[in-house]
Amino acid sequence: MVATTIETSNNHRQLIIPNAYQTAIAQYHRATEHLAIDDNIIEFLRYPRREFTVNFPVRRDNGKVDMFTGYRVHHSTVLGPSKGGIRYSTDVTLDEVRALAMWMSWKCALVNIPYGGAKGGVIVNPKELSQAELERLTRRYASELIPLISPHSDIPAPDMGTNEQVMAWIMDTYSMTAGYSVPAIVTGKPIIIGGSQGRTEATGRGVIIAMMESLKQRGQGNRTDISVVIQGFGNVGSNAAVYAHELGFRVIAVSDVNGGVYNPDGLDIPEVRDYCQENGGVMHYPGGEPVSNADLLTLPCDILIPAAMEGQITASNASDIQADIIVEAANGPTTPDADDILNDRGIMIVPDILANAGGVIVSYFEWVQDLQAFSWDKDEVFRQLQRIMVRAYDETSNMAEKHHVDMRMAAQMTAILRVAEAMKTRGFYP
């Protein structure tokens, strides 16, 4: 589905943005049109394998019990156990979780790690809960997921609104039920209980590796004056900003949910990060001008990194984007009709399933280390991360060149082909 405009009762035209699942399905159909895959397999991979909804009670600190709703969707288990994060947000819907699970299948296949795709979510604003309430919510949701998750079937990880502490509670809840410690049940855990070196930085670092590959592809690999705008200053956006700054790129604007800060001469990112930690946001950082999230997307810059959430770049703002390259750190930040506008304008998009795969790549390293009870040092983790990101980037750009398609199409085609090939080899059961 593309974005459409409708007339509202008071004669205003309102833009209807497709939801994330409609975006994921539209992307899937676009990619499969270019592929010679058995129609039965195309139909099979269009659907999530299983969808789980749980309604569960959480005791608040004041003694009242509130009900919450959570989901876990397994899109595919063709290449291996399903893998994907858990999101805590009031915007969580079953359709959003379905889309994110499908994107995880393609992401894991694209970077060639032996996982299928899953995602989970709870409808909650974690900032409105006390730490004790958050722990009770997490432990109850984790115990509701026990029939679905295990180190060999489905391995959760952090996503928006969750962090390594939440993963620690999930690991503990599962382990208490099993009767022994099971570190490989989740990734993105604290290092002390089996987390991996470099996991926290992995997604943001991978985004900048993908960005550098895109500059090389555009013949701009040696330019030193690249300006970067980043929407979102959570784990992914802030780590991307830090790594870009360390490498000498000029990060000129960053933002969080409330708004951003802009300085065309470049921001001192370590200082912005300290400011954000102390003040709970970046907007009023004194080293720049405040800028709204909407205006930030259309600032003059070389690289735009949406690192917040889905559906940010739409038909209504795609014509105003001034960046040469968009590197999608968020999942699904661009709608299909915005893709068309950006492609027509010659703006390159490094798609989400490639750009933000660093997180799940290092999650895979964490899981492998846990299963082997052996840990790698940070240099090894980053060296292997670099190797896999560059390989996936090259495979995607080769596919794009061979079929004369854009990078999103090429990434989706590469990934879907891999899953389809595995499905063909395994065959339909029974």
Note the residues at the interface with ligand GLU (CB under 6 A): 83-85, 157, 159, 187, 331, 356, 359-360, 363
Output the CA torsion sign for 231, 236, 240, 241. positive
Shortest spacing between CB 358 and ligand GLU, in angstroms? 9
129-138 own/partner pairs: CB under 8 Å, 24+ apart: 130/61, 132/61, 133/58, 133/59, 133/60, 133/61, 134/166, 135/169, 136/58, 136/59, 137/58, 137/68, 138/166, 138/169, 138/170, 138/173
Nearer to ligand GLU, 31 or 186 (CB): 186
Shortest spacing between CB 281 and ligand GLU, in angstroms? 23
- Tracing tokens 């940010």 back to the chain, one arrives at 312
CB atoms within 10 A of CB 272: 23
Shortest spacing between CB 70 and ligand GLU, in angstroms? 16
Contact 321, 254 (CB under 8 A): no
Nearer to ligand GLU, 159 or 310 (CB): 159
Cα→Cα distances 93→69, 70, 99, 120, Å? 10, 9, 10, 10
Q: Are strands 303-306 and 325-327 parallel, antiparallel or unpaired?
A: parallel
Q: Residue with CB nearest ligand GLU? A: 85
Q: Which of 253, 235, 251, 256 is nearest to 356 (CA)?
A: 235
End-to-end CA distance of the chain, in Å? 34
Shortest spacing between CB 371 and ligand GLU, in angstroms? 15
* List 64, 119, 216, 402, catalytic entry: 119
Q: Are strands 4-7 and 13-16 parallel, antiparallel or unpaired?
A: antiparallel
Nearer to ligand GLU, 83 or 139 (CB): 83
Shortest spacing between CB 296 and ligand GLU, in angstroms? 22
Among this protein's residues, is 402 annotated catalytic?
no
> Using CA atoms, how far apart are residues 247 and 204, in angstroms rounded to an integer?
13
Per the structure block, which two tokens stand in for 74? 């397994």
Contact 117, 156 (CB under 8 A): no
Shortest spacing between CB 83 and ligand GLU, in angstroms? 5
**CA 57, 82, 416 angle in degrees (round to 5)?**
130
Per the structure block, which two tokens stand in for 75? 């899109």
Shortest spacing between CB 167 and ligand GLU, in angstroms? 10
Exposed, middle or buried: residue 68 (CB in 10 Å: 0-12, 13-18, 19+)? Answer: middle
Nearer to ligand GLU, 288 or 358 (CB): 358
| Conformational region of residue 115, where left means phi above 0, alpha means psi within -120 to 50, and beta covers everything else | beta
Per the structure block, which two tokens stand in for 166? 């939440």
Cα→Cα distances 368→90, 164, 373, Å? 33, 18, 8
Nearer to ligand GLU, 105 or 331 (CB): 331
Task: Determine phi and psi for 401, rounding to 5 degrees.
Answer: -70, -45
Nearer to ligand GLU, 91 or 340 (CB): 91
Kindly list the catalytic residues: 119
